[in-house]
Amino acid sequence: MRRPPGLAAVAARAGVSVSLVSRILTGDPGLRVRESTRQRVLRAAADLAYVPHVSGRALRLARAGALGLVARDVGDPMHAEIIQGARLAAAARGQALLLAGPPEPAAGAAALDRLAGEGRVDGLLWLGGFDDDLAARAAAHLPVLLVGDRPRAGVPGIRLADERAAALAVAHLAGLGHRDIGFVGRDAAGDASVRRLAGFTAALRERGLMVREEWIVSGGWGAADGHAAMGALLAPPGRPSAVVAADVVGCVGALAAARERGVAVPGELSVVAVHDAWFAAYCAPPLTVVRLPLRELGGRAAELIMDGDLDGPACGHLIDGPPELVRRGSTAAPAPPITG
């Protein structure tokens, strides 16, 4: 592997010292240099297509110039959107983004220790699959930011306006005339789920609607979990006329469960999900959703950690771009009650 030209090559070509090249290229403010020399150096660097070597810089500066991303599942559409936002924000500052594994508690601890210690990244963005011990362990060596979660074990977190999103979903359904509204949750352990549920129940109470525990079911993050949850919700006796799904992926499963049971959406059951995704418009029926600024979440998270703006371990930042209702075909006014 041939080494690319370094500062020494540029210096030799320009007939100056290595340190001068470095100071010119990094824009040392306290440097006085003849303009002709500066141009000569700049030309030499351009001629050789010089690119600073990150390892040399990292070694000297004790900064890697890269962010790590710990994701439960890269393929999750919500994660993908967050990742895209983070990548763009990182790239805008010349920082690289590297993919760390989903933190399997088994091999995860060792892998995480290694990642934290080997100096490859300056900070960690953590998406989903939160584990207090693991996060605290990593945070002992590196700045860590939990994305989409509350602060945990002293590790700061950044969140979306989850309560407002759920409340907006309820408002939409109530506006259509629904009074019997259920909730299909995500993983009950996740803070985002908890807060969406909180927003849901608060919005119900605010309108004097009844909160029925048997209409609140939770699962995990996959479509299969949504499927199971909706199955439980539709079991007799009695079912709601509308459902808020905490997550659009689970909602796809939930929709399938309704279809399998012959429950017409939106004829007999209105469904609205939190988060938008490419497939929502192609579901049968197209899903009404509450859109949240996922990309902005990723971008802000990356910026916070690059700036070191974590404000102490107690702080939980909030991205409160307003939730936006995207009305498609899965919600309608409730059917007139049928006795039986």
Partner DNA sequence: TATCAGTGGGAAAACGTTATACCGAACTTT
Partner DNA sequence: AAAGTTCGGTATAACGTTTTCCCACTGATA
Query: What does the binding site for a copy of itself look like in residue numbers (CB under 8 A)?
Result: 1, 3-4, 49-56, 58-59, 62-64, 66, 69, 73-75, 77, 80-81, 83-84, 87-88, 91, 94, 96-101, 111, 113-114, 116-120, 122, 141, 222-223, 227, 249, 252-253, 255-256, 259, 278-279, 281-284, 286
Place of tokens 């919500």: 78
116 binds DNA (CB under 7 A): no
- At CA 158, angle to CA 153 and CA 161, rounded to 5? 125
3 binds DNA (CB under 7 A): yes
| Residues 47-66 contacting DNA, CB under 7 A | 50-53, 55-57, 59-62
Q: Taking Cα atoms as reference points, which of 223, 259, 243, 250 lies closest to residue 332?
A: 243
From 32-40, 79-87, 166-174, 269-277, give the range in contact with DNA by CB under 7 A.
32-40
Q: With CB cut-offs between 5 and 8 Å by kind, which of a copy of itself, DNA, none does residue 26 bind?
A: DNA
Query: How far is 84 from 275, CA to CA, in rounded Å?
Result: 16
25 binds DNA (CB under 7 A): yes
| Residues 139-158 contacting DNA, CB under 7 A | none
Query: How far is 171 from 288, CA to CA, in rounded Å?
Result: 13
Which listed residue (34, 236, 282, 312) binds DNA by CB under 7 A? 34
Q: Is 276 exposed, middle or buried (0-12, 13-18, 19+ CB in 10 A)?
A: buried
Of 55 and 92, the one with the shorter C-beta distance to DNA is: 55
Q: Taking Cα atoms as reference points, which of 148, 188, 179 lies closest to residue 318?
A: 148
Size of the site for DNA (CB under 7 A): 32
List the 242-245 sheet strands across, edge first: 216-219, 181-187, 242-245, 270-274, 288-291, 324-326
Shortest CB 9 distance to DNA, Å: 8
